[in-house]
Structure 1
């Protein structure tokens, strides 16, 4: 079982501490839990929270020993990390654990430990300039989340859900990640290359493009152009693109490509189909096109992905 240790660094938000449980804690492979989640702190006992809330953590930093993933929650005051926390995170990473910051505060903590030096990082636009001034040796991107050699950062709390679902998918496949997403009643994870809105966007139900996105999902295997989407949304291409990015953080065609890749992964995991048929059904054209997308997005071939993540096949005819 994959062991995930959560380091609570005061002051911490209850949302950050709930993410591991509501995402990783619900992931299952067959009838078995996919992750063992433990929470720890430098000083076991009461941990200060935000908004008058507090919590109690029973484990100390020794819980990081043997962890496959270490998630850093808290530090919303953006202060320098406590030396014991810095040493424990550095040791865990040196031992091979991947590090995950489910908030901008977590990225500040990792950078303060020297663990982001020379790397790329995802930071929300409201804190990007502050981060650059404090850590000029780190490259700030406008991506939703970033994986740089096993260190994961994201552009805010909402993006943390996307990042954690992405990690579940990497560990156990798209079918398991999709089951978790459905249990949480959230949309398909946004791709890492999506960008967070530069400012809060209020989307009224009457103007939302949710129905158009649902329409896109029913046509993954068909050619879809921007003009088709604009016609369905009863708007211009320019307005469609602007509103789509405001709602999802991604362009319409980039969002569609991510959903097609999700479908290709699901088919490779669960259906006994040739790669050519998977590419066609997922709307990615030819097997060569599918291989190119997999190489760029996942760094592997469709065949190696199937070999690594294949569940008991449900034979499907083409």
Structure 2
């Protein structure tokens, strides 16, 4: 009989536990549309095992409480939509903090919700939903619930709409198709999946409006994560830009990037404390810069912009240059917020 023993006093390290709540992860989505909803986090785990020398155990669940019932311990890391992870963590009294943001196929780290109506519906703008039945996304969904509710309030409808909350991200679209509601708010990535999976007929619904962007899928550490392990994992996942195989597996343009939190944001005139000094700089700039978007101004800009991960504030002038204007643009595509 042959036995292999570890050196005296050396215990085998437990696996690194990762809860994956990303709705576009392959085990949590449908694979009806090629290249959408098939994120292979198992390949990311294999990469981390090879680079860190640790074993990684993935648990896929739609909510954090369901995952905790399975693993019966606090995970080391959580991957999921920012609002959903924070919502569940707060309810379960878990401490979480973001380590990295996952870029989507267009390079964005944010997500939006879309207001859907039936194609033949006469509504052409949000104001046309006055007094009608609108199903928002689940309460824990920032882009389909909080952001959508704020847009309806700012639209100043003649008569408040009758709001309902969906129990799942696709419930609103299904209720809309069945004629139970007049409009539904779902994540912007969802309509093609619903059509591809046969849940919604092609051409049956159309987009009426789009919500403002909110933080998207993030990698979080928990309060019990080893500090050295957290730094190592963060460094590994933000260095995937040359691993085309992993970018394809994660349906991502640039993989994970460091989160642009408020401390790293350029959130005031001349930046933090108005010192015109960046708190950090990349080690190397790319050889070629690619313009993501541009926006027209009416007059000469009166000062430098302020920016966060989701908003860009531009000081502008009116056409006659007699009044100052401040424009708020979405950071991911330049669309005007206000």
State if a TM-score over 0.5 links the two structures. no
Q: Which has the higher strand share?
A: 2
Q: TM-score, normalised by structure 2?
A: 0.28
Q: Which is greater in Rg? A: 2
Higher helix share: 1
